[in-house]
Amino acid sequence: MAQLDEHTGQLHIFLGAAPGVGKTWAMVDAAQQKKTEGVDVVIGQVRTHDRPEFNALLADLEVIPLQAIEYQGVRLQELDLEAILRRHPDIVLIDELAHANVPGARHPKRYQDIIDLVQNGISVYTTLSVQHVSSVADVVARMTGVQVYEQVPDFVLEMASSIRLIDLAPEELLNRLLKRLHQGQEAQPELQNLFEPKNLVTLRELALRVAASRVDADVQTLNRAQPDIEPWLTSSKIVVGVSASPANERLLRATDRLVREMRTTWLAVHVETPADSRLDKETQERVQNHLKLAKELGAETLVVAGQDVALRLVEIAGQYDAARLVVGRSRKRGPFGRAKSLAEEIMDLSDTIDVIILSG
């Protein structure tokens, strides 16, 4: 058999704008090509929806049986991670990267299973719809009204050796879905809003952006490896202030998108003032959850003590060599009326730091 990397496998993601664009078919087709080259390929979990043409495409590939896990009195089928590790193929096909595992599996999330496989030298082909990418899930919710609960952190996409965009024009996708409905296949009610034409256009644009950001990351890697190559554009680090505000989740996701567009790095900072000690447990936990989210999105995180939030943020930005400070829209009121916002205080303290105010 042809051998891939002996120590670490590779992750290949087939990314699409929405369910039904052909991600799984493209994944299996690519795996079949590898099989003709003598690579050891097996199926870990692939959803065929009992389509005859799909079953025919999979016919000559070895299948690792799913494991049965009993949950609340029901036996459910789940990916058998242990069996795949024992079999140790060159490549395993695993659909639905964003899938949440049944309680009782080794990991709560399928992407964690896949990381295990890659770290054990097994390459993985997997599929992902863009609405499940953590950094764009809130945009999808606002634009389409579909709340996405199964999300894949962006660092998983950054691990990928390749991200292949599987694109299909909205009209073609709608025609394909209509044909399947006529054939008796049921549509998932919670996803119906996604298939509104205007929403499909939005999802397609998001998928293109996610794929394009990967190209930008590859260019940055090339520039670091060959410093004589002129970078396409300069970038500067960003610091974002983290608070207990419930709107901070939106603020962090918006900052993450900004960071990706600017191809830079960022630091999420919470300034712990004496008032923090008087916060209730729920509010303190919210701060920790915001810092955890920032880390999942790829930021460095820092908690510092200080009496003056604006002053400490300016100091940290200087130490971090950041030219931009992101804060949420806020307005403080003093005992005699309007007081300065955090952004205004920062601007008073520094003429060299750009202050970006984002909703949230």
The tens digit of pLDDT for each residue in 5-24 reads: 446 799 999 998 888 888 99
Predicted local distance difference test score (pLDDT) of residue 3: 40
Say whether pLDDT at 31 is over 50. Answer: yes
Go through the domains of the chain in sequence order and give each one's CATH number: 11-221 (3.40.50.300), 237-358 (3.40.50.620)
What average pLDDT does range 261-286 have in this prediction?
86
Report the Cα 308 to chain-centroid distance in Å: 34
Name residue 356's amino acid.
I
How far apart (Å, rounded) are the C-alpha atoms in residues 66 and 86? Answer: 14
Question: Kind of pairing, strands 123-129 and 91-94?
Answer: parallel
Specify whether the CB–CB gap between 313 and 273 falls below 8 A. no
Predicted local distance difference test score (pLDDT) of residue 120: 95
Tokens 């608070």 correspond to 243
Name residue 83's amino acid.
A
Specify whether the CB–CB gap between 206 and 139 falls below 8 A. yes
Specify whether the CB–CB gap between 266 and 237 falls below 8 A. yes
Mean pLDDT score of the chain, rounded to an integer?
81
What pTM value is reported for the model? 0.60
Q: Cα angle at 146 between 145 and 150, to 5 degrees?
A: 150
Predicted local distance difference test score (pLDDT) of residue 222: 44
The tens digit of pLDDT for each residue in 339-355 reads: 678 888 888 888 778 88
What average pLDDT does range 98-126 have in this prediction?
95
Specify whether the CB–CB gap between 359 and 257 falls below 8 A. no
How far apart (Å, rounded) are the C-alpha atoms in residues 279 and 251? Answer: 21
Percent of the chain with pLDDT strictly greater than 90: 33
The tens digit of pLDDT for each residue in 121-176 reads: 999 999 999 989 998 888 888 877 778 889 999 889 988 988 888 877 767 777 77
The number of beta carbons lying within 10 Å of the beta carbon of residue 182 is 8
Q: CB neighbours of 147 closer than 8 A, spacing ≥ 6? A: 141
The tens digit of pLDDT for each residue in 177-204 reads: 766 554 545 555 545 666 777 777 778 8
Structure tokens at 241: 């202030």
Task: Output the CA–CA distances (angstroms, integers) from residue 351 to 241, 268, 314, 342, 348, in the order listed.
Answer: 18, 21, 11, 15, 7
Specify whether the CB–CB gap between 62 and 95 falls below 8 A. no
How far apart (Å, rounded) are the C-alpha atoms in residues 174 and 195? Answer: 7
Task: Return the minimum-mean-pLDDT range out of 14-28, 266-280, 328-342.
Answer: 328-342
304 three-class SS: strand
What average pLDDT does range 207-226 have in this prediction?
58
43: pLDDT confidence band, cut at 50, 70 and 90?
very high
Phi and psi at residue 10, in whole multiples of 5°?
-115, 145
What average pLDDT does range 207-233 have in this prediction?
54
Percent of the chain with pLDDT strictly greater than 70: 82
Predicted local distance difference test score (pLDDT) of residue 212: 65
Give the count of alpha carbons within 13 A of 288, CB side only: 8
How far apart (Å, rounded) are the C-alpha atoms in residues 148 and 232? Answer: 34
Cross-strand pairs, 349: none
The tens digit of pLDDT for each residue in 54-76 reads: 777 787 899 999 999 988 888 89
The tens digit of pLDDT for each residue in 251-271 reads: 998 888 888 877 788 999 999
- Residue predicted with more confidence, 243 or 277: 243
Say whether pLDDT at 250 is over 80. Answer: yes
